[in-house]
Amino acid sequence: MRDLVVVKKSGRKVPFDRDKLLRSVEIALRKRNVDPDRIDRAVTGIVRQLESSGETEVASGEIGRLVMEALKSLDDVAYVRFASVYRNFREAKDFHEVLGELKTEDDVG
Q: Helix (H, G, I), strand (E, B), or coil: what is residue 5?
A: strand
Q: How confident is the model at residue 107 (pLDDT cuts 50, 70, 90)?
A: low
pLDDT of 3: 87
pLDDT of 100: 76
β-strands 5-7, 13-15 pairing: antiparallel
- pTM here? 0.81
Q: How confident is the model at residue 79 (pLDDT cuts 50, 70, 90)?
A: confident
Residues ≥6 apart with Cβ < 8 Å to 73: 42
How does pLDDT run across 1-25, given as a tens digit for each residue? 568 999 999 999 999 999 999 999 9
How does pLDDT run across 39-69, given as a tens digit for each residue? 999 999 999 999 999 899 999 999 999 999 9
Contact by Cβ (8 Å): 80, 98: yes
| Domains recognised in the chain with CATH numbers | 5-108 (1.20.120)
